[in-house]
Structure 1
Amino acid sequence: MNNSLDAWPTGACGRRLVQVADRPWVREEVQGLRDARSRRTAVNLALLRAPLNGVDLDSADHAMLTWLADRDADIVAGVHSLLDRARAAPPAPEACRE
């Protein structure tokens, strides 16, 4: 077997992996995991966008929110809480903005 980290296993073991991965039930399982991840990301994205309602977002902002939405539930909840608290806070005085 090749010791390279990016090399696909060769020989009998590698062929066996390819045979198993090509089975319909494996493909269905993988597709199910992808669908679950997509649903989770969509829900998390809606949570992150809610406190930003009315804020003009550019494509980089949308990309960052989408990236964050794909993170762990604790991270999404923390960022959502932070955005909610920032939205509810009174504006900072002019002297503190610099």
Structure 2
Amino acid sequence: MKSDATPSQTAKSLLEEHGKDRALKVVSDGIVDAHKKSDNYALSVWREVKAILRSVDAHKRPQAENLQPAIRKCLMCSTSFQSKDIGERVCPDCKNTSTWRQG
């Protein structure tokens, strides 16, 4: 870990150099080393880097294949229908009922 780098810069550098899984391993090793040395500052920095790395994929959109039209079963009536994407789970017929409109 460069002493002048911010946790964000360190996380970005580790991701570019190692990929997410290996970067998390490097961070875990850094945390263990900081514990052994009783270096609370380094420990806090490594923990922040770890949090940044873990959040990298947390807010990504679903994979493209999940966004494609597909035949899905309606959650209300169980009939199959052509949905536009993975978020469309109730068929148009059921959406037109008063039960659906009332919530």
Note whether the superposition's TM-score is higher than 0.5.
no
**Normalized per residue, which structure has more helix?**
1
Normalized per residue, the structure richer in strand is 2
Larger RCO (CA within 8 A; separation ≥ 6): 1
TM-score by length of 2: 0.27
